[in-house]
Structure 1
Amino acid sequence: MSSSKWVRLMFGPFGLKPSSVCGVVRGPAGRSSFSWTAVCRHVSVCSARSASYTTVDPGEVKRFQALANKWWDEQGEFAALHAMNDLRVPFVRDNLLTVHRAHHPGKPLAGLRILDVGCGGGVFTEPLGRLGASVLGIDPVEESISVAQLHSSPDPDLRDRVSYHACTLDEAQFDAVVASEVVEHLADLETFAICCNHVLKPGGSLFITTINKTNLSYALAIVIAEQLLRIVPSGTHDWEKFISPVELERLLESNGFSVQSVQGMMYNPVSGAWSWSDSTAINYALHAVKTSDGAEESCTHSVNEPATTHSSAPS
C-alpha cells in the first residue's frame, strides 16, 4: 500500500476539501481523498518515496473493524483505554498550557485546534473537546468513525467542538496532534512523522502514547494481557511494531521535532487503573514540539532508504 493510500485511509473518509496545500483526488462514489504526492509536491523526491512506503497495515484495519461496536463499553475490550484518560488527558492539557498559557476558566484548551490521529470511537477525542479544544478525529476504520459520530452527537457541549468528518488543511493547521496507542499499529513511522509535521503549526505539539520494545513489554502486553488475562483481544499487538523511546525520539528529531518529555506509564490489571512510573520499560507517553518543517528534509534524505525493520525476537 502506498503512502498516498495511507493518507487516503486516514483522511479520505472525512470529506477533506480541496486547498492550496493539500491535493484532493476523487475515489469511488465521488469520495474525496487526500493526495500525499500533492502534499509534498514542493519536494519532487517525495513522490518517489511515497510510491513504495506504507503506514497503515490493512490487517490492523480489519482487526479494528471487528471491534468497532465495542468502543464505548467501558468494561469491555477497550476498558484500559478508557482508564488511560486519567493520565493522557492531563498530560496533553498540562503540556499545552505550558506552551500557550491561555486563561479560559473551565475550558483550558479553548482556542486550540487538535488532531486526534487514529481516534477510534472517540474515547480520547471527547474529553479533549470538553476541555474547550476544537478537535478533529480521524481513523482509517469507517465503522469506528460512525460509532464516534453517533456517541458525540447528543452532547451539546461537543457539537461545535468535535468533528470526525471534515477538514481543510490550509485553514486548519493544528496546535497539537495526538496519537495515542496508534504508532504500534503502523507500518511506516517515518511517513507518519512527516504527516504530523506537515499539519502542525510552527511550535505545535505532538503527543504519543505507545509501548516500548522490551522483553517485559512482550511478556506483559502480549503474553499476559492478550493471551492469559484477555484484557485486550488476542492479536491486537505485534511486538515487532513496538518502538523504544530512544528510537522514537531519534525518528522524530530527524523529522523536525524536539522531544520535550518522556514519561513511563503503568497499568494495574487488578484495579484497572493507570499510574505514572519512573520506568518506560512497558508503556510511555511522549511530548514533542515542531521546531522546523521536517517534511522536505525527511523526503530528501529518505527517498533511497529502505523501510525501517525490527528484529523478530524480544530484546
Structure 2
Amino acid sequence: MYPLSQTLVTIKSISHLNKTISRGIKIAQISNNVTVAKTTIDASHVEKHSQQAQGWWDPNGPMKALHSYNLIRVPFIRDGLVSCSLDKRTTLPLTNKVILDVGCGGGIVSEGIARLGAKVTGIDASKELVEIAKEHCTIDSRLENNRPTYHCTTVEEHAQHFTDYYDAVVASEVIEHVADKELFIQSCVKALKPGGRIFITTPNRSRLSELVTICLSEHIFNIVPRGTHEYDKFTTPNEVSFLLDRNNCHVQLIHGIMYYPIINKWAWTSSTQLIFALQAVKLAE
C-alpha cells in the first residue's frame, strides 16, 4: 500500500491533469468556433498595384492600356445609363447619376465618368493609389466643380454603409484580382439601387486570354507589369452571370472586347474569349 502522503500527491496530480485537459478542450472548442471574416482583398495583388502608383497617370507608362481603355469603357457605362437620340445628347449626360467605382486604382475610370457629370465615389484597398487619385483629380479643370470622392476601403465594408444607394456600380478590371468573387458580387449589388446597373469588365478564363493578357502583354511587349494577372483567378461570362443571378440581378448584355497590344487599341468584338464587358440590372425585391 502507498503511504497516505503519496496517495494525496497522486490525487492532486490527477486533479491538476484533469483541469489542464479540460482547459485545453475548452480552448480547442473556442478555436473551432471562431469564424474567420471573409474578405475580397488579395493582399498580394493590392501590393502589386500599389507599386505602380507613381506611374499610374503616365499615358505611355505601365498603365497606358488602361488609359486607352477609357475610349470604349466610358461610353459603355454612359450608354447603359442614358438612352437618348443623338440630337438630344449633351456634354454632361450623367448629371445626377451617383456612381461607385470599385477598385478605382488611381482614378482613371472615375475621372472619365465624372467628366460626363456623374457624382463618383471611388474605393480601393490601396492607400497609395487612393492618394494618387485624390491628388490627380485636382489637376483637371474640367473636374473643378465635380471631383470624384475617394476612400481606401473594401467594397464589402462600403456596402454596409451605402446599401441600395448607387445608380450604378462599375467594376472594371477588378474581379480578377479579388480573393472572394461571390462576396465581391454580393457586395457590389448590395450597394446598388433596385433598377440600378452594374458594369463589369474582366479577362475571360480562356487560353486566348492567357496568351494575350499574360504572355504577350506582360512578358513580350511589357505593356502590363509582370505578375499583374494570374490565370487561375480569371473568370468566365457564365460564372459572373450565375453570381449576378444569385444576387437578384438580370444580365442585359455581354460584349466581347479585343485588345491590340502593338498599337494600344481596344475594340468591340462578337467573341468574349479575350475580355468581356457585362451589364446587369438589379431587380426589385
Superposition RMSD in Å:
2.3
| 1:123-172: CA deviation from partner (whole Å, max 9, x where unpaired) | 11001001000000111001111111111113343244311149894598
Q: Distance in 2 between matches of 1:70 and 1:238?
A: 22
Are 1:285 and 2:272 counterparts? no
| Count of aligned residue pairs for this structure pair | 243
Q: Distance in 2 between matches of 1:170 and 1:189?
A: 20
Match in the other structure for 2:102: 117
Give runs of aligned pairs for residues 38-77 of structure 1, distance below 5 A: 51-77=36-62
Q: Distance in 2 between matches of 1:201 and 1:150?
A: 30
Q: Mark the CA change 1:104 to 1:273 in structure 2 (over 3 Å): closer, same or farther.
A: closer
Q: Mark the CA change 1:278 to 1:150 in structure 2 (over 3 Å): closer, same or farther.
A: same
Q: CA deviation at 1:188?
A: 0.7
Would the aligned equivalents of 2:252 and 2:280 in 1 still touch at CA under 8 Å? Answer: yes
Q: Distance in 2 between matches of 1:273 and 1:221?
A: 14
Query: Which residue of 234, 237, 244 corresponds with 2:236?
Result: 244
Q: CA deviation at 1:53?
A: 2.8
Match in the other structure for 1:44: none
Query: Which residue of 179, 182, 195 corresponds with 1:203?
Result: 195
Query: Which residue of 146, 151, 154 corresponds with 2:136?
Result: 151
Give the aligned residue type for 1:96: L
Are 1:134 and 2:119 counterparts? yes
TM-score (norm 1): 0.73
Are 1:95 and 2:95 counterparts? no
Are 1:163 and 2:155 counterparts? no
Q: Which has the larger radius of gyration?
A: 2
Give the aligned residue type for 2:232: E
Q: What is the DSSP-based 3-state SS (H/G/I as helix, E as strand, rest coil) of the residue aligned with 1:251?
A: helix
Query: Which residue of 70, 80, 85 corresponds with 2:70?
Result: 85
**Seq. identity, %:** 43
Match in the other structure for 1:254: 246
Give the aligned residue type for 2:257: M
Q: Mark the CA change 1:51 to 1:80 in structure 2 (over 3 Å): closer, same or farther.
A: same
Q: Mark the CA change 1:224 to 1:104 in structure 2 (over 3 Å): closer, same or farther.
A: closer
Q: Distance in 2 between matches of 1:147 and 1:225?
A: 24
Query: Which residue of 213, 216, 222 corresponds with 2:208?
Result: 216
Structure showing the higher helix proportion among its residues = 2
Match in the other structure for 1:189: 181
TM-score (norm 2): 0.80
| 1:2-26: CA deviation from partner (whole Å, max 9, x where unpaired) | xxxxxxxxxxxxxxxxxxxxxxxxx
| 1:73-112: CA deviation from partner (whole Å, max 9, x where unpaired) | 111111110011011000000010139xxx7732100000
Q: What is the DSSP-based 3-state SS (H/G/I as helix, E as strand, rest coil) of the residue aligned with 2:41?
A: coil
Give the aligned residue type for 1:164: Y
Q: Distance in 1 between matches of 2:163 and 2:256?
A: 35
Q: What is the DSSP-based 3-state SS (H/G/I as helix, E as strand, rest coil) of the residue aligned with 1:124?
A: helix
Unaligned runs of 5+ in 2: 1-32, 153-157
Would the aligned equivalents of 2:163 and 2:192 in 1 still touch at CA under 8 Å? Answer: no
Q: Distance in 2 between matches of 1:157 and 1:79?
A: 21
Unaligned runs of 5+ in 1: 1-47, 294-315
Give the aligned residue type for 2:231: W
Would the aligned equivalents of 1:252 and 1:258 in 2 still touch at CA under 8 Å? Answer: yes
Q: Mark the CA change 1:256 to 1:172 in structure 2 (over 3 Å): closer, same or farther.
A: closer
Q: What is the DSSP-based 3-state SS (H/G/I as helix, E as strand, rest coil) of the residue aligned with 1:81?
A: helix
